[in-house]
Amino acid sequence: MQTILGANGQIATELARELKRSHTGDLRLVSRNPRKVNDTDRLMPANLLDAKQTAAAVQGSSIVYFTAGLPPDTELWEAQFPTMLKNALEACRAAGASFVYFDNTYMYPQDARLQTEDTLFAPVGRKGKVRAAMACMVLEEMARADIPVLIGRAPEFYGPGKTQSFTNALIIEKLQAGKKPRVPVRDDTRRTLIWTPDASRALALLGSTPDAYGQTWHLPCCDDRPTYRQFIAMASQAFGGNGSYTVVGKWTLTLAGLFSKQVREIQELLPRYAQDNLFDSTKFKRRFPGFDVTSYGQGVELIRQEWAHGQAA
């Protein structure tokens, strides 16, 4: 049996589909209020902040995927994320289960250097420090080697369904609503975005590959790396927009943060939008040369098709 901890997010949903499609029919979904993705899924409500509930949720699993998320609230991250991860690791160790950790890039330097699996952590802000500490916790478990452990790391998302990201919220959803897209900080820096179904397919493939354990993997992204100006041109063509957009400057966002907690919570991410974001996934592509990475044009068109189908329904 394979288990997904934190089973309601977009990555977990796509992961459950891929595991059922290509790897296993015996799947357990765990969260406070889990929902079936496949008809055969087993559901298990559990609070990952509770060690006993987490242990029960993992018991009997051969592979456990940690895809749990929290709202972008710094104090919540500091108070809950490390405990959730600690409980999950201890539960997997007790059950003898392999552990697959889905990670982001908050701990990386927010500059234009090429990001590889060997990039040293240099977190900016409190949320970045939380994610760096969590990644180090997983690396320590990996080095202990009591159980097989791997890290699959992804940059910012874009994708179908309820994908939550700056790009979806500020560009795609604006165009779908007939509104002008908004771009944070600059429109001429190159962005590396990952198509969420690709991230989930890659995570399932890594978890099912014995020699992938004991390593960190950058999940596969298209290497075109468009600027937001180029991405909006593609998306506007797909959704019938006129190509116009607004760049929201750093100082405007800083001022807005005085009045909005939601805006304050993203302040520490702003430096990455002032620089090229060059996330490298060469290692994965060399190991799995048959993996088809979705291009940005293909991704935007798939979102348009899903949206058009929803509009017609």
Mean pLDDT by 10 residues, the chain (313 residues): 94 96 94 95 97 98 96 93 98 98 96 96 94 98 98 96 87 92 92 97 98 98 96 93 86 56 67 92 98 97 89 65
Tens of pLDDT, residue by residue over 71-115, are 889 999 999 999 999 999 999 999 999 999 999 999 999 999 999
Tens of pLDDT, residue by residue over 108-145, are 999 999 999 999 999 989 999 999 999 999 999 999 99
Q: DSSP secondary structure string, 225-284?
A: --BHHHHHHHHHHHHT--S--EEE-HHHHHHHHTT-HHHHTTGGGHHHHSS---B--HHH
pLDDT value at residue 8: 87
Mapping DSSP to helix (H, G, I), strand (E, B) and coil, where does residue 53 land? helix
pLDDT value at residue 263: 57
pLDDT value at residue 270: 80
Mapping DSSP to helix (H, G, I), strand (E, B) and coil, where does residue 105 land? coil
Distances (CA, A) of 63 to 101, 145, 196: 11, 15, 21
Residues of the chain above pLDDT 70, percent: 94
Tens of pLDDT, residue by residue over 204-221, are 999 999 999 999 999 999
pTM recorded for the entire structure = 0.94
Evaluated on CA atoms 202, 198, 36, 152, the torsion sign reads positive
Distances (CA, A) of 97 to 7, 57, 129, 190: 18, 12, 27, 39
